[in-house]
Amino acid sequence: MSYKKPIPVPQGESDYYWEKAKEEELWLRKCNECQEAYFYPRDISPCCFSKDTSWIQASGRAKLFTYGIVHRAPHAGFVDDVPFVTAIVQLEEGPKMATNIVIDDPTPEKLQIDMPLEVVFDSITDEITLPKFKPE
């Protein structure tokens, strides 16, 4: 069975993120000047534009910041998935990221803003695993 959705192409500064996702861990970059974690991974921090940055492992806990429920597939690869949830979650460490909420038959009633979530990992190819979230 071949995977029909768009597949991320890791870049030099995101290789580590994708390697760790494959090991079912979620890692973030952190700015050592202001101590803020940020997403998406960049070698130079967007907060202080500093090169003094490091990688930290995220707890995997998050809150639902906002979402949509997609009824009209935007791409052939998603036809069998509708309705599905596109979400922005706020990680416990602060940054927000785009993701999917893994939930059967999504409705607004099942999706409350600020509800607690935890990361799950969806291995889509031998190389790539996508971090997604499900209700805690």
Alpha carbon distance 20, 5 (integer Å) = 21
When the beta carbons of 30 and 38 are compared against another protein, the nearer one is: 38
Cis, peptide link before residue 83, omega less than 30° from 0? yes
Query: Does the CA dihedral 42-40-36-133 come out positive or negative?
Result: negative
When the beta carbons of 59 and 74 are compared against another protein, the nearer one is: 74
Residue 27 in contact with another protein, rule: CB under 8 A: no
Instruction: Kindly provide the residue ranges of all beta strands, DSSP E only, lying in 32-104, ordered along the sequence.
Output: 37-38, 53-57, 61-70, 84-91, 96-101
With CB under 8 A as the contact rule, which of the stretches 19-27, 28-36, 53-61, 77-85 interacts with another protein? 77-85
Q: Are 91 and 58 in contact (CB under 8 A)?
A: yes
Q: Binder to another protein among 69, 102, 103, 120 (CB under 8 A)?
A: 69
Kindly state the smallest distance separating residue 62's Cβ from another protein, in Å. 13
- Per-residue string for binding with another protein, 43-62, x by CB under 8 A? --------------------
Residue 26 in contact with another protein, rule: CB under 8 A: no
